[in-house]
Chain A
């Protein structure tokens, strides 16, 4: 469903993505682990087209999308959430979700009707609100809700495009353990045919949702396999401990 072949990217002298080859099957849920600065977000940025790789290719649903622009990839069913909230701050939660759904349905340039009033968009808003537990807050403005709810909206907007593949960049970063657990429950209830790639720091939670695990370190894939295998290896501990000791 989503594949990269020897993706590489450098910022000046620093190589932040080294020869990364990944392959996600349809419906696969993969978690990316890796210490701060490992290049996880940078990888996402290349996957969605916000950053051009220096070399290598990206394939979505069998087609090479490396040369496509961000919006074109989105229209082919690729969606992402951001590590740092990237919301429509002055609007209500319903409007945030509705706008995302409208654009994804190709109504973002229409002149003759209000997409927010269309049945399709309203249905999407209702469904997504149920999926990420936002139903009670739909009429609240983003700047009036708590950080945790905004975090859920961050993922909700990505879901509202009805993607085939969704990339979530640390969806629970900065929220408490309770809320984080709740969010993982929501994640597990998402449709099984949705392909999901998540960056996550909390290993226990990661093992909880993952079908497969990829570990990045210094921009390089150092592990790619099943959660059980990852849990058994000392690699993860070394990397994280190493990062902690450095810090």
Chain B
């Protein structure tokens, strides 16, 4: 079950402090990177919610993000909505789509679930890619940033935008953490461990899965809106399954099922990407090697490694007692 251990709280506080400090001092390029980290962080929070806690390893989260980004852009450009209603509309669409995908795939597990989500993700990708309405291969530009001038904030300024992005990360984290501590979140973890038993206890499994997937989809949609506002341009590449694969990689590098770990993973991944790609055009290969090494080491990513290290130093007294009893 999800709990805020002292290590997790400390890591969160540290991440928040570092991000705010960096946002205060960084130059334009640094702020761009910060926004990029924030977008990825929201996406991996969404993915960890279902994959890490519910065992629903999804390869359609890139598509959910992309749908959010496109819906936001279209709603703002063509329907003439201002940024906030457009965001709500876009997130609603991602949520609804994720609910349907979650409901339809609820019966599949393991590799079949992965493949089924891949199919739905690719369906959305092909649809956007082929549709001339949405710019096809060229994508769409002109997504607006929210107008917060009433509050005296100018989001066209990259420092303000980075702070706004960080705020959305905090919001996404709060939603995910609250979900995990709700009845649904408890059931989700239970489903991961033993779906059959939970059904025998009276849980409507498909609905629990679909609802959890929908919440995750809402967060992915939020990440999509932010991505659209950040670059003010969307392309079908956002929906590609490799985006989902990359998000999964980040979750794994950070620590699956820890919620905090994937955020750390997003920070490391984006920094690593920029550092390595400055040195060599083959940065994907380096990421691939790191991924293989992490998975083969059997550690649960960077954060999981820290957690087990700390747990090994301070063994839980009750567990020992129970063992001695047995």
A binds B: yes
A242 at the interface (CB under 8 A from B): no
Contact A90 B187, CB 8 Å, known A103-B202, A109-B208, A140-B319: no
Interface string of B294-326 (1 = CB under 8 A from A): 000000000000000000000000110111011
Cβ–Cβ < 8 Å partners of A91 in chain B: 1, 189-190, 193
Cβ–Cβ < 8 Å partners of A90 in chain B: 193
Complex-state Cα separation, A113 to B186, whole angstroms? 11
Contact A111 B179, CB 8 Å, known A80-B200, A144-B323, A145-B326: yes
Q: Which of B186, B207, B318, B326 contacts A146 (CB 8 A)?
A: B326
Cβ–Cβ < 8 Å partners of B203 in chain A: 71, 103, 108-109
Check if A144 sits within 8 Å of B319, measured CB to CB: yes
Interface string of B200-223 (1 = CB under 8 A from A): 111111011001000000000000
A184 at the interface (CB under 8 A from B): no
Check if A107 sits within 8 Å of B194, measured CB to CB: no
Check if A71 sits within 8 Å of B322, measured CB to CB: no
Complex-state Cα separation, A90 to B1, whole angstroms? 8
Complex-state Cα separation, A205 to B323, whole angstroms? 28
Q: Which of B107-148 contact A (CB under 8 A)?
A: none
> Which B residue's beta carbon lies closest to that of A80?
B200
Q: Which of B32-80 contact A (CB under 8 A)?
A: none
Q: What is the interface size of chain B, counting residues whose CB is below 8 A from a CB of the partner?
A: 33
Q: Which of B189, B193, B202 contacts A74 (CB 8 A)?
A: B202
> Which A residue's beta carbon lies closest to that of B204?
A71
B197 at the interface (CB under 8 A from A): yes
Complex-state Cα separation, A10 to B18, whole angstroms? 65
Most chain A CB within 10 A, of B183, B197, B322, is at B183
Most chain A CB within 10 A, of B189, B190, B205, B318, is at B190
A246 at the interface (CB under 8 A from B): no
Check if A136 sits within 8 Å of B190, measured CB to CB: no
Check if A144 sits within 8 Å of B184, measured CB to CB: no
Cβ–Cβ < 8 Å partners of B323 in chain A: 140, 144-145
> Is the contact region of chain B dominated by helix, strand, or loop, or is it mixed?
helix
Check if B193 sits within 8 Å of A107, measured CB to CB: no
- Give the A-B pair count, Cβ closer than 8 A: 127
Q: What is the interface size of chain A, counting residues whose CB is below 8 A from a CB of the partner?
A: 45
Complex-state Cα separation, A90 to B183, whole angstroms? 18
Contact A107 B326, CB 8 Å, known A86-B194, A100-B201, A157-B201: no
Check if B182 sits within 8 Å of A110, measured CB to CB: yes
Contact A109 B193, CB 8 Å, known A71-B199, A114-B183, A140-B318: no
A48 at the interface (CB under 8 A from B): yes
Q: Which of A125-156 contact B (CB under 8 A)?
A: 136-137, 139-141, 144-146, 148-149
Cβ–Cβ < 8 Å partners of A145 in chain B: 322-323, 325-326
Cβ–Cβ < 8 Å partners of B196 in chain A: 50, 86
> Which B residue's beta carbon lies closest to that of A114?
B181
Check if A107 sits within 8 Å of B183, measured CB to CB: yes
Q: Which of B79-124 contact A (CB under 8 A)?
A: none
Contact A99 B202, CB 8 Å, known A89-B194, A111-B179, A136-B325: no
B160 at the interface (CB under 8 A from A): no
Complex-state Cα separation, A89 to B322, whole angstroms? 15
Nearest chain A CB to B56 CB, angstrom units: 16
Please list the residues of chain B having a beta carbon within 8 angstroms of any beta carbon in chain A: 1, 178-179, 181-184, 186-187, 189-190, 193-194, 196-205, 207-208, 211, 318-319, 321-323, 325-326
Q: Which 4 A-B pairs have the closest CB atoms?
A: A146-B326, A110-B183, A140-B322, A74-B202
Please list the residues of chain A having a beta carbon within 8 angstroms of any beta carbon in chain B: 48, 50, 70-72, 74-75, 79-80, 82, 86-91, 95, 98-100, 102-104, 107-116, 136-137, 139-141, 144-146, 148-149, 157, 161
